[in-house]
Amino acid sequence: MKRNTYKSVPDTSGHFGKYGGRFVAETLVPLILEVEKAYKSIKKKKKFINEFKKYLKDYVGRPSPLYFAENLSKKLNGPKIYFKRDELNHTGAHKINNTLGQILLAKSMGKKRIIAETGAGQHGVATATVCALFNLPCTIYMGEVDYKRQMPNVFRMRLLGAKVEKVKSGSKTLKDAMNEALRDWVTNVNNTFYIIGSVAGPHPYPEMVRDFQSVIGYETKDQIKKAEGRLPDFLIACVGGGSNAMGLFYPFLNDRKVKMIAVEAAGEGLNKKHAASIAKGQLGVLHGSKTYILQDKDGQIIEPHSISAGLDYPGVGPEHAWLKDNKRVKYVSVTDNEALDAFKICTKIEGIIPALEPCHALAYLIKKAPRMPKNNIIVMNMCGRGDKDIFTVAKKLKINI
Amino acid sequence: MPQQDLLKKKFDELKKKKKCGFISFITAGDPDFNTSYKILEKLPNSGVDIIELGMPFSDPMADGPVIQKANDRAIKNKMNLKKTFNLIKKFRKKDIITPIILMGYYNPIHKFGINNFIKEIKKNKINGVIVVDLPPEEDNELCLPIIKNKIHFIKLATPTTDKNRFKKIIKNSSGFIYYISITGITGANYKSNIRLQTEIKNLKKLTRLPIAVGFGIKNKKDVKKLSEYADAVVVGSSIIKRVEEALKKKYNKIKLINFVLNYIKSLTSAL
């Protein structure tokens, strides 16, 4: 690692220190090497950069606003809280930043078919959306459990023309959807591009997804400078695989005074069922990269649990594992119930219905803000909106709708 | 005799007899420890030349539904790497000549610890290892330590492997090359065709290692056809499918074991 920089990773072999790498079946290796080569070449090309920017602006609606959450700030009587409003993006979450980037890459590589995995369905919808836009057929893999708890998104994907495959193996959630997508990819390796939705998977995906998502952080930097004349004291985001957090954090990594907090899903509690891979996971290899993984003493993957489908994953992006070791980002966790409380508070006092994923970041913020200095500034990534979650929330609150 | 030579010896012997070898794949502990031991101990007498034993993993990304379920059954019955070694230890008390290859995914090995893993391999006279998710890019993880300990590290080549890639693959591989007949997962449809024949012929120009062909080989006809140009054939899913079928039909243990072994015999008789 170069001194004084947190931006020197991954190395040429795709490792973030001891994390990351390319742990995939041989059949896929030539293809992922090809993806890496294509990405390296395209990311410097003006034509690609301009096209990506154009779609982000005119199609996604970027830049997303940086909103001073005055009511919440007042209520907590602590620092100034800003929301980076990525939930206002087209399709309702940050996921589309990445799917746009990857589909432009897939097109440039001449790929004729797209596949993706999805947990909450946000990445699936974002993928189905860009596939509709660019007229490419796509198949979305979704665990049966998620399929049931995110029905509105299943319907949206279908309307957009995607084939949604219900995955019934294993725990029937995001990790199994990813297994199934990898099986599809191995089978259709010649014509298919796999749009991975998080900063996970084999190199170059963690780097590539981070780069596409870093538009969140770059915009935030400009916006907060304009609003406050300085950088924030804290950034806070939720982490499942960790793409929204990486997107917000990355541009600030070398700004040492900006502290960063990533919030994992503690589910029913860290000693019960949860999805907190950094807090409770151990070093291992899953889905192409080495990172912290929820596993038992035999190295079998443990079925994670979170109220939020988007955080219900037993691993975490390798760069997060690296940032944790380097103590650049602080990793914490909050439970289902705390996230649910945050959901209610935010909806009532800010008039914003947040997705259950960012509610985790919000819950931690609500807990800590009252004890923080009033002259501090916090930016939280509101990475998705909660329309998709209303059924889950209603069920949890025992309300019939 | 160093233990790794068992595999070489077997291939030399097959070559002398101008015979194609038969590699059977079963998942360790499927459906349970004792039944899988009973199948294992009778494999050599059923015409199996080399035993490939699957180390159960909860997320076998390169496997089709049949082997996924075998993994689930084994894990449900508390199978793990330690017990897999116990299974082989028991087998080795009776058979010290049939080569045994372990196949699986990296995470359980990583968790078990590389040094422990190698120690157990040596102790139980296991002859080689195949790890699906360790391509040459990750040779430092396990391949190099394994080779250093004179254990075979068998690599995979596939229809997506070109000449340059193959050179990279064979660099740190030994024992034999496992050629995956299709782009796909285990148990998918295999098609014997000219392409496959040509690919194997081309690979043989680049290596002196024997080439075993696997994935999707389902019947006597497939085995027969492949034996014309492969040094060995690997059959897995269709054997395990018999376990699944026998369980579905609620066969007792003895009937299940015979059902599986008779199927294997029907295949090996083609060679």
What is the gyration radius of the CA atoms in chain A, in angstroms?
Answer: 19
- The residues that bridge with B130 in the sheet, in sequence order, are B103
Nearest CA to CA, how far is B132 from chain A (Å)? Answer: 5
B97 lies in some domain: yes
Round to whole Å and give the CA distance between A293 and A300.
10
Catalytic residues of B: 52, 63
B200 lies in some domain: no
pLDDT score of B3 more than 70: no
Contacts of B94 (CB under 8 A, 6+ apart): B41
Average pLDDT over residues B189-207: 87
Confidence label for B1 from pLDDT (cuts 50, 70 and 90): very low
Round to whole Å and give the CA distance between B61 and A181.
9
Test A299 with B157 for CB contact under 8 angstroms: no
Which 186-205 residues of chain B touch chain A by CB within 8 A? 188
Q: List the A282-286 sheet strands across, edge first.
A: A15-16, A19-23, A288-293, A282-286
Which 189-248 residues of chain A touch chain B by CB within 8 A? 189-190
pLDDT on residue B192: 65
B75: containing domain: 3-182+218-268
B18 lies in some domain: yes
Among partner residues A26, A30, A183, which is closest to B61 by beta-carbon distance? A183
Find, among B61, B148, B75, B72, the residue nearest to B106 by Cα.
B61
Contacts of A11 (CB under 8 A, 6+ apart): none
**Beta-carbon contacts below 8 Å between A and B:** 118
Cis peptide before A63 (omega within 30 of 0): yes
B213 lies in some domain: no
pLDDT on residue A309: 87
B81 lies in some domain: yes
Test A22 with B137 for CB contact under 8 angstroms: yes
B212 lies in some domain: no
Residue B165: CATH number of its domain: 3.20.20.70
Please give the structure tokens belonging to residue A307: 């109220």
B192 lies in some domain: no
Round to whole Å and give the CA distance between A54 and B167.
43
Contacts of A176 in chain B (CB under 8 A): 59
Length of chain B: 271
Q: What is the pLDDT of residues B133-148, one digit of tens each?
A: 999 999 999 999 999 9
Contacts of B115 (CB under 8 A, 6+ apart): none
Round to whole Å and give the CA distance between B179 and B200.
8
Q: Across all residues in chain B, what is the average pLDDT?
A: 95
Which 212-231 residues of chain B touch chain A by CB within 8 A? none
ipTM score above 0.90: yes
Test A29 with B135 for CB contact under 8 angstroms: yes
B54 lies in some domain: yes
pLDDT on residue A92: 95
Residue of A nearest to B189 (CA): A187
Phi/psi of residue A30, each to 5°?
-55, -40
Whether A173 has its CB under 8 Å from any CB of chain B: the answer is no
Cβ burial, residue B197 (10 Å; 0-12/13-18/19+): middle
The domain tally of chain B equals: 1
The predicted model scores a pTM of 0.96
Per-residue pLDDT of chain A (401 residues; tens, 9 = 90+): 455 689 999 999 999 999 999 999 999 999 999 999 999 999 999 999 999 999 999 999 999 999 999 999 999 999 999 999 999 999 999 999 999 999 999 999 999 999 999 988 999 999 999 999 999 999 999 999 889 878 889 999 999 999 999 999 887 888 999 999 999 999 999 999 999 999 999 999 999 999 999 999 999 999 999 999 999 999 999 999 999 999 999 999 999 999 999 999 999 999 999 999 999 999 999 999 999 999 999 999 998 999 998 898 999 999 999 999 999 999 999 999 999 999 999 999 999 999 999 999 999 999 999 999 999 999 999 999 998 899 889 999 999 88
Straight-line distance from the first to the last Cα atom of chain A, in angstroms, rounded to the nearest whole number: 54
Length of chain A: 401
Q: List the A163-167 sheet strands across, edge first.
A: A163-167, A138-143, A113-118, A192-194
DSSP helix/strand/coil, A192: strand
